[in-house]
Amino acid sequence: MSVLAYDLGAGSGRAILGHLTDQEIQIREIHRFKNEPVKAGERMHWDILRLHHEIIQGLSLVKQQGESPDSLGIDSWGVDFGLLGSNGELLGNPYHYRDTQFNGVMDRICQELSRKKIFERTGIQFLPFNTLYQLAALTHRASPLLREAERFLMIPDLLRYFLTGEAVNEFTNATTTQLYNPVLGRWDHELLAHIGASDRWFGEVVLPGTAVGQLRNSVSQELGLASIPVIAVAEHDTGSAVVAVPATERSFAYLSCGTWSLMGTELEQPVINAESLELNFTNEGGVGGTYRLLKNIMGLWILQECMRQWERDGQGISYAALLAEVETAPPFVSLFDPDDDLFLPAGDMVDRIRQYCRKTGQRVPEDQGSVARAILESLVLKYRRVLEWTEQLSGQSFSGLHMVGGGIQNHLLCQWTANSIGKPVWAGPAEGSAIGNMAVQWIASGAFKDIWEARKAIRNSFPVKEYEPQDRSEWAEAYGRFLQISAASPSLHSGSEV
């Protein structure tokens, strides 16, 4: 049985075909493409029509290779959305979550409603680009889009709508908006009313594994394909990535690492209390009635931005060459909190790292290897902090950490994570989101009875590399310094510990 998974990240997308035979999974990349934001005037957008075109291209390549998948599904990043008008057509290109029009809106809304009230109603981490604040920004400036809007669809919902004509919202992605109430099991009408968003825009929320239409006749006829069923998978990419964690124990910790790092655990109920609010954790929907207690960490975005800057400055360097320089740079010289607001916007990331180090009385990293080493060391030290918080909030003790996603191809990151947390790291699979996307499609078809049978097949089908902790005393000392530096820089601190 074959299925097609579209996995869209903040920098690239891919179409991957999966075959399931005798509980063994084989995958093949069909199509890979860039996903770059577009700056138009003062606004930053996603090129949604280009993404739709690439999805069609993926289907065309599937046909050319003689494949006929039994279903397809789409996952992507969260929070961003498109609006449909009364004629069912898209009203403008969706905004990018890093667009500057959303700056400062979270603080205003939190003053009006209080963080406590918002968190009690949603259980979602406070991030300045959450959908709640994006919509509040549009209503505050009386965006003409809202006068014409009839339907709210998140990115995978929208792309699925283009393919099928069916407009529904999927659960795991809906929960990222900070507009969904997990206690009531529906959109939160009070929050919507406060920001001036109409209830009628927000439709049915379906669970992962729900079949939502088939390819439109126009698409099938254009490509010469059968009318393939389209499944609403775990459409938030982290939700799909967690499905693919090859855990053997019901109690496990995961880290999905890429542009963003997301660390947490899988629970049967959300953890919405004063402590999870204080630590600014989130409770996002999962598969099979679960919730993902997790925290967003800035991730490899900081390193990616530095590399883009060096490229612009004529100092471009390959990833492999940069990691070689990292290994020869002196350790633990410059540390910083990667979740500081300083590192959220695009731009001159190298200068911001140096600015942070100057203000905290540390040596300023000058060469590329030293800058990159500071990023990776700071990131894995933050992983330890968040893992400790996850144990604290969940009341569990984890024997190690499962790492999935493209970031595991950085073996230094994996080894240093094990060193930092002082526990084993199990890395794999790299294409976690795509594989989890496929697993939900197979669960929907009955090929797997549940998520645990799917995880067993994933564990048996893909290699997992184990990293044992090393140099524990040096890393423990560095962790102490990291905590002191983070606590001593309140003027730079992002408020991740609300």
Contacts of 230 (CB under 8 A, 6+ apart): 71, 72, 73, 160, 163, 164, 166, 211, 212, 213, 214, 215
CA 306 to chain centre: 20
> DSSP 3-state assignment of 439?
helix
Burial (CB count <10 Å: 0-12, 13-18, 19+), residue 156: buried
Annotated active-site residue in 237, 337, 339, 340: 237
Per the structure block, which two tokens stand in for 133?
């604040």
Using omega within 30 degrees of 0 as the cis cutoff, is the peptide bond preceding 229 cis?
no
Helix axes 411-421, 368-394, angle to 10 degrees: 50
> DSSP 3-state assignment of 209?
coil
Cβ density class 223-241: b for 16+ within 10 Å, e for less? bebeebbbbbbbbbbbbbb
Residues 336 and 451: their CA atoms lie apart, in Å, by 38
Amino acid at 367: D
CA distances from 442 to 5, 156, 258, 404, 454 (A): 11, 19, 25, 20, 8
Residue reference for tokens 């990222």: 176
Nearest to 26 by CA among 462, 485, 349: 462
Amino acid at 249: E
Q: What are the helix and strand counts (H, E) for the chain?
A: 19, 21
Q: What is the torsion angle, in degrees rounded to the nearest 10, for the CA atoms of residue 189, residue 174, residue 270 and residue 105?
A: -70
Q: How many residues does the chain have?
A: 498
Nearest to 74 by CA among 226, 208, 178: 208
Residues 440 and 171: their CA atoms lie apart, in Å, by 13
> DSSP 3-state assignment of 148?
helix
Residues 492 and 467: their CA atoms lie apart, in Å, by 33
Please indicate whether residue 237 is annotated as part of the active site.
Answer: yes
Residue reference for tokens 């003790």: 397
Per the structure block, which two tokens stand in for 194?
């406060």
Residues 285 and 177: their CA atoms lie apart, in Å, by 11
Q: Taking a C-beta distance cutoff of 8 angstroms, is the pair 405, 413 a contact? A: no
If phi > 0 it is left, if psi is from -120 to 50 it is alpha, else beta; for residue 372 that is: alpha
Residue reference for tokens 């990331």: 349
Residues belonging to the active site? 237
